[in-house]
Structure 1
Amino acid sequence: MNRRLLIFAIILEAILIVSCERITPRVPADDQILDGPIDGLSSAEKTRFLAGDVAFNDEIFTRETGLGSVFVATSCGSCHAGDGKGTLFTTLTRFGQTDETGNKFLHLGGPQLQNRAIPGYTPESIPAGATFSRFTPPSNTGLGFIELVSDEDILAMADPSDLDKDGISGVPNYGALPSFINALPNAIPKNGKYIHRFGKKAAAYSLLHQTVNAYSQDIGISSAFAPKDVYSGQEIDPEISNLTINNVVFYLQTLKAPIQRDQNDTQVQRGKQTFIDLGCQGCHKQTLKTSLSPIAALSNKTFHPYTDLLLHDMGSGLDDGYTEGSAKTSEWRTPPLWGLGLSPNSQGGQYFLMHDGRARSIEQAIQMHGGEAGASRDRFKKLAQGEQADLIKFLKSL
């Protein structure tokens, strides 16, 4: 090759390299995304994680594969883009009653409204006399850690009689276990019911419970765990395998916890101290720990979700007149705050916060707090503008 051709080849290669760098999307840093597995999985566990990932995010159900007859969504991932929070377009409607004696509308399609139907069928409507509430899908990350918080630790955070006189009196939500659920080791039941921890009112006991309910209530998919068709109420053959459901459960259990950003930023550090000074940690506990797990990477881990997994009375402004389990109508489980700063990534670039997405900013969400959180809200309102900015930056770092 002569000198001119050699120079031309080198220049062409450089151009191609630069061009490829410009058109190839950069892989986002781990602290900028919510999905991805926890560290420490074995090769076999990583394979299972990927199988659950495909089932959760890629499988779209059709009439031919069991969708409906009435449903809310056609896939798991459609409500949890990037494993993040949902929007007003994916918000679910739950209906029932105002007391805690059990849902009286299960024979009429409760507890969830299936607002869509395949051709030839009619979507559900809310029955006369039923109260209802709208629930925005939560993010999925770190759920395996939450599942493994012991009942003993949850009860240690509860203070039903407010013995410490701080105005906060969180309580667990106790519920019956469906037939396909075995109580977790070291569970502490009360009157034959068990502490639930997943959902806006902590109405689901475990990730298997949550997953089976989602396939049935959200997509209209029957399984060996929940064989009743949501439209007819009759038992039908399973439309999804136990293996797929268990792979999805494993996927949810082993999604990594959100990674805080800018922890050493002085404004973030000031905001964290303000968070503590306002009393927000009364409900949003920073640090919890897991118990023993068959998944070694989850066993005996300390993590930072900013929740106590308890129900708290949030006041009349957040009383939707609807209840689940032993939760009262104004009681809501403390939502974990980790991942809060990344919520707009799955919410169209803006926030939809609180249980139904009514708050469009973190500031609005804080100001909607009432009941047990009313004192902290009032302290927030009295902060100087700079102090409020510090707090918001801290919350967005989570």
Structure 2
Amino acid sequence: MPMPSRRLSALRFVLVPMLLLACGEPFLPGAIDPTTTLDGPIDGLSATQVATHARGDAEFARRFAAIDGLGPTFVATSCESCHVGDGKGHPLFDITRFGRYAEGLFDRMPAHGGPQLQNRAILGYAAEQLPAGATAIARFTAPAVTGLGYLEALDDATILANADPTDANGDGISGRPSMVDSTDLVIDVISVSDLAAGAEQTRHRPTGGQYVGRFGKKARTINLLHQTVFAYSEDMGITSEHVPQDLYSPHVGSQGGDGVADPEVSAAVVDAVVFYLRTLRPPPRRNAGDAAVQEGEALFTQIGCSACHIPTLRAGRSDIPQISGALFSPYTDLLLHDMGSELDDGYTEGDAAPSEWRTAPLWGIGLVERAQGGGAHYLHDGRATSLPDAIRFHGGEGASSRAAFTALDAAKQARLLAFLRSL
């Protein structure tokens, strides 16, 4: 039960003088350590760009209510609800996606609100429940959102050049791109004109009617506009000029909408959030010069981790000069890899098999524990509670690196883990 405001006021009169008298030094917050903070814009933005970034930041933090158009069914009330401090989310706030296999095909169960479960609802509506027929269920922890502008600016050719779907070089790694059908995109969340505009802005062009996916656990979205519009619609039930219809779940009868005029956010708001995400700085490194960290990085390459978690990439052209052509270190190839039965939830998106996952960028992994409030949860659903646990879940194409890590003596394992914590 909340404390009455009069009681709070009384406590202020008692506690504040006590705090002032208890210490001879002024009570001031400590300086923010930039090496342990994820949010913040990239350097060198103009005054206009800083203002747009700040507006996007405010919209990212905005909490929607029913009066604003939230729902009628939804998962979260704001972007920041899942991406607290722009960092990796906590499993308590995982989203759930589901489906089933019928006659050899994957059914996303749209008649039951699939593929994403909206487990909350505004007053007067029923939240969705997992349907009894769902046989494939996956839970996804929200990723950190820093440095995404660099990943978006990667040329398709760079991603495709690192692919080796038939393992032609015989190294046991057969990463392949997620090819997203433009027809599926139009059906899902984004219009033909949006696709054309996005391709012009990010230089990502369709090949044979398909785009190279790069965002999401299974690389299902093609750029930050696509990802943002999807999140507004599927996570918050907020309509935009890109997706002007409220979520419709026949299973709970929410076809009537929330009674708020659509669209509920303008294209300008969406654009500000996209710009904010594009201009968030990459996660900072720590202790990169330590001998143990450097030895750990060498071991990381030696046991084959860098075959998928590619350390350094170069951005392509971007309308943000600081990003265009920049070298950056995300430790990913953005390709799909078969991770074996250990990470097979039975659920699939796009052309990814249930056991295939996009290589998660490792930058910022050393700040996961801080972002999650003191407890660490790794992998797509937070099932691993330590870095060694996360490594042990690597099967399939990651099995040889897992075995090599296990074979290292304790001192070498500690150095490799020190390297990961420096990212």
SS at match of 1:110: coil
Matched, 1:292 2:307: no
Aligned partners of 1:39 and 1:103: how far apart in 2? 45
SS at match of 2:357: strand
Matched, 1:197 2:214: yes
Matched, 1:92 2:95: yes
The 3 A distance-change label for structure 1 pair 157 and 320 is: same
The corresponding residue for 1:45 is 49
SS at match of 2:79: coil
Matched, 1:171 2:181: no
Matched, 1:376 2:397: no
Deviation at 1:353, TM superposition (A): 0.6
Aligned partners of 1:103 and 1:255: how far apart in 2? 36
Deviation at 1:40, TM superposition (A): 1.3
**Residue 124 of structure 1: which of 120, 128, 131 is its match?**
128
Matched, 1:65 2:68: yes
The 3 A distance-change label for structure 1 pair 65 and 286 is: same
**Residue 320 of structure 1: which of 305, 322, 345 is its match?**
345
Greater displacement, 370-379 / 220-229: 220-229
The corresponding residue for 2:115 is 111
Aligned partners of 1:329 and 1:379: how far apart in 2? 25
Aligned partners of 2:386 and 2:323: how far apart in 1? 33
TM-score, with length taken from structure 2:
0.86
The 3 A distance-change label for structure 1 pair 282 and 18 is: farther
Matched, 1:80 2:79: no
After superposition, what is the alpha-carbon deviation per residue over 1:295-332, rounded to whole angstroms, capped at 9, x for unaligned?
Answer: 11211100000000000000011111111111011000
The corresponding residue for 1:272 is 297
After superposition, what is the alpha-carbon deviation per residue over 1:57-95, rounded to whole angstroms, capped at 9, x for unaligned?
Answer: 2x1111111111111111110101110011111100012
Q: Is the 8 A contact 2:39 2:280 kept in 1?
A: yes
Q: Is the 8 A contact 1:98 1:329 kept in 2?
A: no
The corresponding residue for 1:358 is 383
Aligned partners of 1:346 and 1:122: how far apart in 2? 32
After superposition, what is the alpha-carbon deviation per residue over 1:322-364, rounded to whole angstroms, capped at 9, x for unaligned?
Answer: 1111101100000000001111122121111111100000010
Q: Is the 8 A contact 1:98 1:323 kept in 2?
A: no
Q: Is the 8 A contact 1:102 1:325 kept in 2?
A: no
The corresponding residue for 1:138 is 143
Deviation at 1:118, TM superposition (A): 1.4
The corresponding residue for 1:184 is 199
Aligned partners of 1:269 and 1:189: how far apart in 2? 40
The corresponding residue for 1:151 is 156
Q: Is the 8 A contact 2:199 2:205 kept in 1?
A: no
CA RMSD of aligned residues (A): 2.0
Q: Is the 8 A contact 2:108 2:115 kept in 1?
A: no
Aligned partners of 2:89 and 2:419: how far apart in 1? 22
Deviation at 1:260, TM superposition (A): 0.8
Q: Which runs of 5+ in 1 are unaligned?
A: 1-14
SS at match of 2:137: strand
Deviation at 1:127, TM superposition (A): 2.9
Aligned partners of 1:374 and 1:162: how far apart in 2? 15
Aligned partners of 1:44 and 1:289: how far apart in 2? 26
Deviation at 1:103, TM superposition (A): 5.0
Give the residue type in structure 1 aligned to 2:233: S
**Residue 385 of structure 1: which of 410, 416, 419 is its match?**
410
Aligned partners of 2:238 and 2:357: how far apart in 1? 28
Aligned partners of 2:353 and 2:146: how far apart in 1? 27
TM-score, with length taken from structure 1:
0.92
**Residue 229 of structure 2: which of 183, 188, 212 is its match?**
212
SS at match of 1:381: helix
**Residue 283 of structure 2: which of 254, 258, 262 is its match?**
258
SS at match of 1:153: helix
Deviation at 1:190, TM superposition (A): 3.9
Greater displacement, 366-375 / 227-236: 227-236
Q: Is the 8 A contact 1:92 1:113 kept in 2?
A: yes
5 Å-filtered alignment, 1:226-245, equals 226-231=243-248, 232=254, 237-245=262-270
After superposition, what is the alpha-carbon deviation per residue over 1:85-128, rounded to whole angstroms, capped at 9, x for unaligned?
Answer: 11111100012345996754234312210001112211112234
Aligned partners of 1:143 and 1:98: how far apart in 2? 33
**Residue 330 of structure 1: which of 355, 359, 362 is its match?**
355
Give the residue type in structure 1 aligned to 2:404: R
The corresponding residue for 1:302 is 327
Aligned partners of 1:342 and 1:18: how far apart in 2? 34
Aligned partners of 1:192 and 1:382: how far apart in 2? 45
After superposition, what is the alpha-carbon deviation per residue over 1:170-229, rounded to whole angstroms, capped at 9, x for unaligned?
Answer: 011111243132353553534311111000001111111111111111111111111121
After superposition, what is the alpha-carbon deviation per residue over 1:141-197, rounded to whole angstroms, capped at 9, x for unaligned?
Answer: 000000011110000000001011000000111112431323535535343111110
SS at match of 1:19: coil
The corresponding residue for 2:167 is 162
Greater displacement, 98-107 / 115-124: 98-107
Q: Which runs of 5+ in 2 are unaligned?
A: 1-20, 249-253
Q: How many residues align?
A: 381
After superposition, what is the alpha-carbon deviation per residue over 1:23-53, rounded to whole angstroms, capped at 9, x for unaligned?
Answer: 2112222211100000111110000000001
